[in-house]
Structure 1
Amino acid sequence: MSSNSSIEKKYSRWIVLLSVVIPVAVAVLFFVKIPNATPLPVLPPIYATINGITAVLLVVAVWAVKNGKIQLHQNLMKTAIGCSLLFLVMYIAYHMTTPSTKFGGEGSIKYVYYFILLTHILLSIAIIPLVLITYVRALAERFDKHKKIAKITFPLWLYVAVTGVVVYLMISPYYNF
């Protein structure tokens, strides 16, 4: 077995574990409120901005790799992953300390909002293993496999990042702080 294959094998359990644990933890923690916690209404615009930054990082990273700027691509992708982790921590902190906000729009905009929200949530779960597999394949220098899965991961991750901003913009008028 090559050392590259052993890198992929080494991380495969972590990929499966994180791909299950993160969505389950977020789902559970979404309903757990810290008693007497100070609400954190400042977080949604911050994590929406982080989603926007992630989207820009992803686009620039693809541009970088297509133009042979491999080190820049690697740095941008690591930063995008870091932004996603930062988003996740803030998102959990917000929902554990602050009451949920109901979308107040009516008519067809309500269906648009819920469609965007639902696809955002479902794809945010799906991209966890995709991002991790894509990253590990690059780490293992399996660039043929990395490129193949990156063609799937990139548009889905970009959609999640952009729709995170859209969801925030659509619900922000209904925050009660």
Structure 2
Amino acid sequence: MGEHLLNWLSLLTIGISGISLLTGLVFIKLGKRDLHKRAMLTASVFAILFVMLYLVRTALFPHRSYQGPYRELFSFILWSHTFLAIVNFPLAIITIRYAFREAFQQHRKVAPITALVWLYVAVTGWLIYAFIEWLQ
């Protein structure tokens, strides 16, 4: 599997994850718990697939850095993305665990934070790719 294909599969999986997350948020606002659950599980599965693809790509291909004119902005986006991606992993597990245990009061407290961080990480992941591929 080539680097270009891995990049596009990574973008696709995190994109589907983000769209599924947004769809799940709409469903819960409409009171459709079953559809919310399905959308959020879909978001989780595609996020896990993204991490697997990212790890494979990182193991197989050299790291590519951004050397373009917006290095300070890129660095801020990269570091905030990395930090929040690390934070989001346990947040997502806790949020999903509360939902499966039907601890909905706790789930409702942590889920909005998790969703916001998750969306930020997904969007900034796309931005990082755009910087490296198109803004050099």
- TM-score normalized by the length of structure 2: 0.94
State the aligned residue count: 136
Specify the alignment match of 1:4 in structure 2: none
SS in 2 for 1:103: coil
Specify the alignment match of 1:56 in structure 2: 19
Is 1:172 paired with 2:133? yes
Native 8 Å contact 1:40 1:94 kept in 2: yes
Q: Which residue of 138, 142, 146 corresponds with 2:107?
A: 146
Give the alignment of 1:97-176 within 5 angstroms: 97-106=60-69, 109-173=70-134
Specify the alignment match of 1:68 in structure 2: 31
CA distance in 2, matches of 1:174, 1:94: 21
Question: Residues 144 and 136 (structure 1 numbering): CA distance in 2 closer, same or farther, change over 3 Å?
Answer: same
CA distance in 2, matches of 1:53, 1:133: 21
Q: Which residue of 90, 103, 117 corresponds with 2:53?
A: 90
* One-letter amino acid matched to 1:111: E
* One-letter amino acid matched to 2:97: V
CA distance in 2, matches of 1:40, 1:121: 21
CA distance in 2, matches of 1:163, 1:48: 11
Which one scores higher on RCO, CA 8 angstroms, separation ≥ 6? 1
Identity between Structure 1 and Structure 2 (%): 33
Misfit runs of 4+, over 4 Å = none
CA distance in 2, matches of 1:93, 1:50: 14
CA distance in 1, matches of 2:18, 2:10: 12
43-52 or 118-127: bigger deviation: 43-52
Structure 2 regions of 5+ residues with no counterpart? none
Q: Which residue of 78, 86, 92 corresponds with 2:41?
A: 78
Offset of residue 39 of structure 1: 5.2
Structure 1 regions of 5+ residues with no counterpart? 1-37
Is 1:40 paired with 2:3? yes
38-47 or 129-138: bigger deviation: 38-47
CA distance in 2, matches of 1:154, 1:102: 28
SS in 2 for 1:155: helix
Bigger radius of gyration, 1 or 2? Answer: 1
Specify the alignment match of 1:11 in structure 2: none
